[in-house]
Structure 1
Amino acid sequence: MQSHPRFGPHLRLIGMAVLWGASWPAGRIIAQSMPPLAGACLRFVLAAMVLIPWMYWAGGFSQLRSWSAQRWLGMAAAGATGVFGYAAFFLSGLQHLPAGKAALVITLNPVMTLLMAAWLFKERLNAIIAAGMLLAVVGAVVVLSHGKPLEILQGAMGIGELLILGCVVCWVLYTLIGRWMLTGVDALSTTAVTSTIGALLLLAGSLIVEGPSGLASAVDSGTTAWVALLFLAFGATALAYAWYFDGVKALGAGAASGYITLVPLFGVVISAFLLGERIDTPMLLGGAMAIAGTAVMSWGRSRA
């Protein structure tokens, strides 16, 4: 992406948000065509084929020999939660839930992560962050409940919503494990190693749960599903992370992470455009509240 040096990182971060937003309709296509564990396995095997050479080229292999047992344990835990768990819930949830709605549920990620970080790491919160959290949670509840939030108290949530909430739990665990056990490891090495570990876990899980026929079915799933899978592996994983790392290096982690606020917005819009998904009033209202809440949280964190 060629651009003026001043605007280049910002444009790449917008591109990252578009790619991550588009991962939801791509995941929906894959979930309708492939067994979820087999599809997730193929995604991260392909991504690792890019990430591992990239890590080698960046000089990351030289540090592997010096990693402690605790660091390798942290990598294994991060791969089990942030790759294996998240990817399994991601594609399994998208078998039951429209991509746009699922993308809006993920706005709970920063809320739950901040709450756990405040509890475990004593990270400071302020009134702005608290207001953003409340707005994001209310918005996500409106989306989850189809505009009838009181029904959630009665357990009226489908399997798709519960599986996507599993994504939220896995991502929070992945983030907290990273802060606790992976301090000092660069983001590229973390992504490459955890993606490889996660791919191996997904392969084992697919063979155990879906059997060899699951992988065979995924391989023979057709052109459309494979285009979506290649996009997830190379576009939404390798390229999007490259642009994100570039943004972190140029602007700082706080400013770069603010662009993640745009991901659910692009997810909803692209899902409506590519898959013809309907955006109803609860999605529109709840989604606007959730996205605004995450933006307010990001602003509050920058002030803190």
Structure 2
Amino acid sequence: MSSAVHWAPHLRLLGMVVLWGASWPAGRVVAQAMPPMAAAALRFLMASAVLLIWLHRTRGLGLLRAWDGRLWLGMTAAALTGVFGYALCFLMGLQHLPAGKAALIVTLNPVITLVAASWLFRERINRTIGLGMAIAALGAVIVISHGQPWLLLQGAVGRGELLIVGCVLCWVVYTLLGRWLLVGVDALATTAVTATLGAALLTAASLVVEGPAGFGAALQSGAAAWQALLFLALGATAIAYAWYFDGVKALGAGAAAGYITLVPVVGVVSSALLLGEYIDAATIAGGVLAVAGTALMNRGRR
């Protein structure tokens, strides 16, 4: 095996990290310029078109004919949480919260997922995982509370923080649904179908809540907003997922999960560089703890 072939999956996973990390400042740009439901619908309409073409080229569309009603019900539930709910909380949260801070709050994702999995599926949590969970949770709490955790007891949490926590909860439910209902289903087929169903749900919701004017306002947004939206649809969704699946196939889920640890770091740095966001001491301290805790959790799981 040549050196280039050996390093190719690692380079793709690094590319995935950059794309997913940069999705936070891109989402902030879109959220400030477009109605959130229309923007989310357009994002997943474009992404699902690319994913369905990709699925067709790999001859995966034929697999869908063998799916039963239970599997389609699971796909619909996954689309409601992992696409519809997540996409709305993502863009609505970024209307109120800096992108770098939002990226760090999402480090709660593996913590809550593991807690739920240990309860529902009796997954064992060893000492290393438990310590990592505690550190990551502490870091996220510091970021959410702006370095004043005691304020959480007084309910002093902003709308943006609550919406990004909503992102986390939607993704946790999506992950657990996948483990429960979608076992043995091709990952690309799952992503393409849930993205397509989610796009349909988002389109319907936008037309009902925002009206046709929502899409009209999105279409009339400036070039910067559309560049960011195209990046979210094609880069952070279609291409990033392709590289992620390739990395999992070549290196295993554990190694790929290790790279995901770097996503919030890229999110903070890219938000500072691209949007000029200020990184305060509480964000740095909480971010270091959150990323370190997540890395420790991944080590414990391996």
Question: Is TM-score (shorter-chain normalized) higher than 0.5?
Answer: yes
Q: Give the equivalent residue in structure 2 for 1:147.
A: 147
Aligned residues: 301
Q: How far apart are 1:115 and its partner, in Å?
A: 0.7
Pairing 1:172-183 to 2, within 5 Å after superposition: 172-183=172-183
Amino acid at match of 1:217: A
C-alpha distance in 2 between matches for 1:207 and 1:8: 43
What is the aligned partner in structure 1 of residue 170 from structure 2?
170
Counterpart of 2:132?
A: 132
The yes-or-no answer on 1:62 pairing with 2:42 is no
Alignment correspondent of 1:253: 253
In 2, the alpha carbon distance for the partners of 1:49 and 1:69 equals: 24
Alpha-carbon distance in 2 for matches of 1:137, 1:257: 18
CA distance in 2, matches of 1:57, 1:185: 18
Q: d(CA) in 2 for partners of 1:84 and 1:258?
A: 27
TM-score between the two structures when normalised by the length of structure 2:
0.99
Q: Distance in 2 between matches of 1:11 and 1:115?
A: 31
Q: Structure 2 CA distance, aligned partners of 1:256 and 1:4?
A: 18
- Residue of structure 2 equivalent to 1:238: 238
Deviation string 1:141-200 (CA, Å, 9 cap, x unpaired) is 000000000000100000000000000110000000000000111110000000000000
Paired residue for 1:220?
220
Displaced runs of 4+ in structure 1, greater than 2 A? Answer: none
Once the two structures are superposed, the pairs formed by residues 56-205 of structure 1 within 5 Å of their partners are 56-205=56-205
State the identity as a percent.
65
Distance in 2 of aligned mates of 1:123 and 1:220: 49
SS of equivalent residue, structure 1 residue 51: helix
Q: State the Cα RMSD in Å.
A: 1.0
Question: What is the 5 A alignment of 1:14-25?
Answer: 14-25=14-25
Alpha-carbon separation, structure 1, partners of 2:234 and 2:166? 24
Q: CA deviation at 1:26?
A: 0.2
AA in 1 matched with 2:24: W
Gap runs ≥5 in structure 2: none
Asked whether 1:48 is paired with 2:48, we answer yes
Deviation at 1:209, TM superposition (A): 1.1
Which whole-Å deviations, capped at 9, do the CAs of 1:51-92 have from their partners, x for residues lacking one?
Answer: 001001111111111101110000000000000000000000
Letter paired with 1:161:
E
Distance 2:21 2:209 in 1: 29
> 2:279 aligns to what?
279
Matches of 1:204 and 1:217, distance apart in 2: 16
CA distance in 1 between counterparts of 2:284 and 2:161 reads 17
Separation of aligned partners in 2, 1:282 and 1:22: 21
Give SS of 1:89's match: helix
Secondary structure of the residue that 1:7 maps to in structure 2? Answer: helix
Q: Distance in 1 between matches of 2:219 and 2:123?
A: 45
CA distance in 2, matches of 1:178, 1:213: 35
Give, in angstroms, the shift of residue 223 of structure 1: 0.4
1:269 Cα offset (Å): 0.1
> Structure 2 CA distance, aligned partners of 1:16 and 1:152?
34
